[in-house]
Structure 1
Amino acid sequence: MGSTTDPLSLLLAALKEQPRGMSVSDLAAAVGINRNTVSRYLDVLLVAGQVEMKTYGKAKVFYPSQRVPIAAMLNFSSDLVLVLDRDRRIVQANDAICAFAGRERDDVIGKSIETSPLAAFDHPLIRSRITDALNGREAAEELRFLRHSDELFFRVKFLPTVFNDGTPGVTIILENITEARRAEEALRESESLFRSLVENISDLILNVEGDSTFSYVSPKSMEILGYTPEEMLQKTPFDFMPPADAGKVREQFDALFADPRPRVLFEWTMLHRDGSPVILEVSGTPIYDMIGDFTGYRMVCRDVTDRARALKRVAQWKSFLYSVVNNIPSMVFVREIERDMFVFANKAAEIFLGVTREEMAGKRADEIFPQEMATFFADGDRGIAGRSAPVEARVSLSGGRTLMLKKIPIYNSRGVLKYVLGIAEDITDRVSAENRLVAERDRAKGYLEAAGVMIAVIGANGTIDLVNRKGNEILGYAEGELTGKNWFMTVVPERLRERLQRNFQRLVAGGVEPPHSEKSPVVTRDGRERQVIWHNALLRDTDGRVVAMVSSGEEIAEDPDDQEHASCA
């Protein structure tokens, strides 16, 4: 045997040539070493796992080991593995750590960590833990490394190791936990976001277990119900409900838990701490555990108390308005444009047309109304589309009745004409009264025009409301020319104007009554004065207030001495 030949290698080579096994004596003869020395080397190879031994009686037979070498086993691991000797030199480095460093194994083996391509792991804490492991103490740490722009996290184990020759070493196993850390961080952020969302949304979140107790209550409970989440935990929804409502909700829960599936909105009434009712709009989502078993419901509850009250007020107003519309004396109809049919009629319409609203519903104008009304209502949206003001018309029916008809456009939220509101008012009696009034007015006007004296109506503010034909002739004005002008500034001589106007204001104030007759001059259009003897009467409204003075005057011969005695006309 050469002096430089490794005895262990010789023994292994001999065993490989005899895979059926060799005794100590056979090996001693094959390699030229005495039996005692061969026995010691075989013990080392057994400890190292490079040979196996079987006993046959007193004989020991040795075979090459069928186990995978430790270096090969290290390469199976996805963890980064280093083996250091007592001098902290790298004696083993698996494929994973070489790939991480981006170098070949030959560039790493035999070097210290700080001088190798793995210098990134030369950290004071790592050096300290290597010392501990060389002294027989196992250690583990979680470390953060910066590699280029990436932040990496490793769980590092330092394991005491003994080599074949009995010298100490260290096995360092680095488990890359970066993805786990990122997942944990994402989970924390998600939980933080969820917690912030739950705490800040306006809805109350409740987790209800199979026994109907709360296992989670969001902080919004304090704002909505006046209770802290801790006060509500392990209690049931029924503990916070009026007894009359609790029974109905129990039935809902029986249905929910018997058939777990997402439920659309339903309504709860719960009691605030102060005893006031709180109306909640609730939606339920089933909760399942990790193995898919149903465990309860997550309830999202929105406080709709104000909305419910508003809807109730709207419903009340609708009922009130419906009652008003249904009972007003005018006829009211609603016609739908798209289907060209009437969908509503009030009580007055039923009485006037002699048919019920049910009989009118779904019919066209020509099937409901007399011809004169049908012509107005049957033209659909013609002449009304795009308008906001109503369209009006007066029609006379063949039976002698007179109606005032209106069509009012009703648009939807998109500005499209949806309905036409029709109103029909029977104005027969009013038209008859107007006609009588016009006849009486014309007759009275005829009397005034036929009178042989001047007649003037002066309003409470001194303006001329009326002067008859005789008065216009005396004063020299055309018919209607004086209407609206101030009596005192137009027909009263300037020297008498202030005094007569002051007397008129006292009459209007109700302090005095006008004399039965008086003389007072007037100024004609051409500036001449003419003497008139006046008879005055005050016109009052229903409250007794003076609204005008009616004066009738008869021209007389001039008497200069009488001009200073003029009163007010």
Structure 2
Amino acid sequence: MESYQDTLTNIREYLQEKHPQKISISAISRNLGIHRSTASKYLEILRLNGQVTMCCYGKSKLYTISDRIPTTSLFDCINEIIVIIDSNSRILMANKSFFSKFNIKNEREPIGKNIQETGLDIFSDIAIQKNIDRMVQGKTFLDDMLHLDDKTNRIYAIKFIPTVSHDGNQSIMISLNDITDQKQTEEALSISDEKLRTIFKRVPSGILFFNEEGNIINANAAALSLLGIEDYHELIGTNLFNLVCQKDKIKKGLMYGKAGGTEITCDFDLLKRDNIISSSRSGRGYFEAAFTHIASETGSQEFALLFMDVTTDRMAKIELKFNESRYRSFFNGTCTGVLIYQPADKGDDFIIKDVNNALEIILQVKKEELIGKKLFEEFPDLPINSVREALNRVDNTEIPEIVPPLQYIKNENSPWLTHFIFKLPTGEIASFMMDISKELSKEVTSQKVHVNCFT
């Protein structure tokens, strides 16, 4: 069998050297030292194979190497591993991928050998051997098989194709395709798909898929719960833009192909009144939302909306803003002086944090001049020890106290102020102070009159 392949190779190489000259059978036979009938047989095989071309000159047949790509050479252009064996499992032909994959340096070496004797594990697989035997015997066989190579952990998809050799005898073409990377990719995608399905089902955020018209085509359980809907089919087909109050903003973002985030609002009472959805929720719902374009298997435009319920947080912020506004109105509008300070230097002094308008008038000082300053440094005339002790007691016990009247500045025009001090939830200390200078003056006058009456 090796001489058969060698003879074919010698004829091809001889014609290649003489190209483009056309050579007769007799000349080939004479120059290569082979019998004329043998040369004729091999030339016919090469012609059928597409490796040589023949033209007639009278009764003579003249041959030259073919300018066309031989059929066997076509197999060298593909990545699949191709090997052709005869009915005795001997290798007739193999392509470049075969030799490369199995690291066979000498391409002539396996030709003519039984494929099971090549030492290649894949062809020693009993299942593959039995399938080849069934093909040879004309029995039902498998067109496709999968093989896992225990040594390399490579996975091969194998095809078995009955064919006919150049001499007309039965042969088998075996095609092997290394699909390890493909299988690993498919497995990874399968795992990713499973993860995505798990996220879609279990994530607490609502997820809506919708098309370019806004019609909802899919929704997860969290979306139904957030919208107060029990029946999945009630939401499917509903137009997203009819559900939210900020539809123009979303439409504009989608029009320019942008992903984005926004806050959306749903007026559930309006939605129920207009028979858009029959939600179990009432009032307004506020949601933090993000939307983006997603790939579609159908080729049409599809989008996803991910949203979270922030109604409680939003309402708390609204209430806080209202309370802050109310507090600020009270703080600045009350006729009682208010001073807010925070302990500093381990209670030795106190940082002034805020002052209301009434206190500015009482002390005849600007708010900007006091904020951030230390109490006892700005007002050294205060009875520091008694004030410090009172403030620290309130800070430690959180029990409000009334401080006896005192002056911030020692002069006859400085008002006498009484203080009600208490601790705020913020850890700061607040002091409400009232000017009682007139009351003290009346009391002093009354005492003088009383003394005069008895003298």
Would you say same fold, with TM above 0.5?
yes
Pick the aligned partner of 1:165 from 167, 180, 183: 167
Deviations 1:466-521 (A, max 9, x none): xxxxxxxxxxxxxxxxxxxxxxxxxxxxxxxxxxxxxxxxxxxxxxxxxxxxxxxx
Higher relative contact order (CA 8 A, sep 6+): 2
CA contact (8 A) 1:393 1:406 kept: no
What SS class does the counterpart of residue 234 from structure 1 fall into? coil
Alignment-derived partner of residue 261 in structure 1:
258
Alignment-derived partner of residue 564 in structure 1:
none
Q: Which amino acid aligns with 1:314?
A: L
Pick the aligned partner of 1:274 from 269, 280, 287: 280
Alignment-derived partner of residue 148 in structure 2:
145
Alignment-derived partner of residue 202 in structure 1:
204
Would the alpha carbon gap of residues 75 and 7 (structure 1) be closer, same or farther in structure 2, given more than 3 Å must change?
closer
Deviations 1:7-32 (A, max 9, x none): 86786576456431034676678789
CA contact (8 A) 1:334 1:422 kept: yes
Question: CA–CA distance in 2 between the matches of 1:35 and 1:90?
Answer: 27
Do residues 424 (structure 1) and 427 (structure 2) align? Answer: no
CA contact (8 A) 1:23 1:59 kept: yes
Deviations 1:385-438 (A, max 9, x none): 9993599674236247421357878898xx9xxx77453233457768999999
Pick the aligned partner of 2:120 from 118, 121, 124: 118
Q: Which amino acid aligns with 1:43?
A: E
Question: CA–CA distance in 2 between the matches of 1:169 and 1:294?
Answer: 49
Could you tell me how far 1:203 is from its partner in structure 2? 0.9
Deviations 1:418-469 (A, max 9, x none): x774532334577689999999xxxxxxxxxxxxxxxxxxxxxxxxxxxxxx
What SS class does the counterpart of residue 368 from structure 2 fall into? coil
Do residues 311 (structure 1) and 317 (structure 2) align? Answer: yes
Could you tell me how far 1:345 is from its partner in structure 2? 1.0
Deviations 1:72-105 (A, max 9, x none): 6555543333322211133444554455545655
Could you tell me how far 1:236 is from its partner in structure 2? 1.5
Could you tell me how far 1:211 is from its partner in structure 2? 1.8
Pick the aligned partner of 1:189 from 166, 188, 191: 191
Flag structure 1 segments of 5+ consecutive residues without an equivalent.
440-569
Could you tell me how far 1:115 is from its partner in structure 2? 3.9
CA contact (8 A) 1:341 1:362 kept: no
Would the alpha carbon gap of residues 240 and 425 (structure 1) be closer, same or farther in structure 2, given more than 3 Å must change?
same
Q: Which amino acid aligns with 1:284?
A: A
Deviations 1:512-547 (A, max 9, x none): xxxxxxxxxxxxxxxxxxxxxxxxxxxxxxxxxxxx
Pick the aligned partner of 1:287 from 293, 297, 319: 293
CA contact (8 A) 1:142 1:153 kept: no
Would the alpha carbon gap of residues 17 and 217 (structure 1) be closer, same or farther in structure 2, given more than 3 Å must change?
closer
Do residues 404 (structure 1) and 418 (structure 2) align? Answer: yes
Deviations 1:264-300 (A, max 9, x none): 4323225361252452323334316599x99454322
Would the alpha carbon gap of residues 120 and 5 (structure 1) be closer, same or farther in structure 2, given more than 3 Å must change?
closer
What SS class does the counterpart of residue 163 from structure 2 fall into? strand
Question: CA–CA distance in 1 between the matches of 2:28 and 2:441?
Answer: 146
Alignment-derived partner of residue 453 in structure 2:
none
Do residues 395 (structure 1) and 406 (structure 2) align? Answer: yes
Could you tell me how far 1:216 is from its partner in structure 2? 3.3
Would the alpha carbon gap of residues 10 and 250 (structure 1) be closer, same or farther in structure 2, given more than 3 Å must change?
closer
Question: CA–CA distance in 2 between the matches of 1:130 and 1:141?
Answer: 12
Would the alpha carbon gap of residues 264 and 282 (structure 1) be closer, same or farther in structure 2, given more than 3 Å must change?
same
What SS class does the counterpart of residue 362 from structure 1 fall into? helix
Could you tell me how far 1:143 is from its partner in structure 2? 1.3
Q: Which amino acid aligns with 2:313?
A: R
Question: CA–CA distance in 2 between the matches of 1:386 and 1:262?
Answer: 57
Question: CA–CA distance in 2 between the matches of 1:32 and 1:110?
Answer: 23
TM-score by length of structure 1 reads: 0.57
Pick the aligned partner of 1:178 from 159, 166, 180: 180
Pick the aligned partner of 1:214 from 216, 226, 248: 216
Aligned Cα root-mean-square deviation (Å): 5.1
TM-score by length of structure 2 reads: 0.69
Question: CA–CA distance in 2 between the matches of 1:361 and 1:264?
Answer: 41
Would the alpha carbon gap of residues 194 and 32 (structure 1) be closer, same or farther in structure 2, given more than 3 Å must change?
closer
What SS class does the counterpart of residue 212 from structure 1 fall into? coil
Q: Which amino acid aligns with 2:118?
A: S
Could you tell me how far 1:138 is from its partner in structure 2? 9.0
Flag structure 2 segments of 5+ consecutive residues without an equivalent.
269-277, 345-350, 449-455
Alignment-derived partner of residue 345 in structure 1:
356
CA contact (8 A) 2:26 2:36 kept: yes
Would the alpha carbon gap of residues 319 and 157 (structure 1) be closer, same or farther in structure 2, given more than 3 Å must change?
same
What SS class does the counterpart of residue 179 from structure 1 fall into? helix
What SS class does the counterpart of residue 119 from structure 2 fall into? coil
Alignment-derived partner of residue 301 in structure 1:
307
Question: CA–CA distance in 1 between the matches of 2:100 and 2:393?
Answer: 78
Q: Which amino acid aligns with 1:87?
A: N
Question: CA–CA distance in 2 between the matches of 1:300 and 1:366?
Answer: 45
Q: Which amino acid aligns with 1:145?
A: L
Would the alpha carbon gap of residues 128 and 42 (structure 1) be closer, same or farther in structure 2, given more than 3 Å must change?
same
Question: CA–CA distance in 2 between the matches of 1:85 and 1:229?
Answer: 62
Percent of aligned pairs sharing the same letter: 21
Q: Which amino acid aligns with 1:195?
A: R
Could you tell me how far 1:183 is from its partner in structure 2? 0.9
Would the alpha carbon gap of residues 393 and 87 (structure 1) be closer, same or farther in structure 2, given more than 3 Å must change?
farther
Q: Which amino acid aligns with 1:213?
A: N
CA contact (8 A) 1:284 1:297 kept: no
CA contact (8 A) 1:334 1:420 kept: yes
Could you tell me how far 1:117 is from its partner in structure 2? 1.6
What SS class does the counterpart of residue 276 from structure 1 fall into? coil
Could you tell me how far 1:259 is from its partner in structure 2? 3.5
Would the alpha carbon gap of residues 7 and 334 (structure 1) be closer, same or farther in structure 2, given more than 3 Å must change?
closer
CA contact (8 A) 2:84 2:174 kept: yes
Would the alpha carbon gap of residues 46 and 98 (structure 1) be closer, same or farther in structure 2, given more than 3 Å must change?
closer
What SS class does the counterpart of residue 147 from structure 1 fall into? coil
Could you tell me how far 1:334 is from its partner in structure 2? 4.5
* Higher alpha-carbon deviation: 322-331 or 221-230: 322-331
Could you tell me how far 1:176 is from its partner in structure 2? 0.8
Could you tell me how far 1:303 is from its partner in structure 2? 0.8
CA contact (8 A) 2:81 2:177 kept: yes
Would the alpha carbon gap of residues 33 and 221 (structure 1) be closer, same or farther in structure 2, given more than 3 Å must change?
closer
Could you tell me how far 1:119 is from its partner in structure 2? 2.9
Q: Which amino acid aligns with 2:146?
A: L
Question: CA–CA distance in 1 between the matches of 2:423 and 2:119?
Answer: 86
Would the alpha carbon gap of residues 117 and 107 (structure 1) be closer, same or farther in structure 2, given more than 3 Å must change?
farther
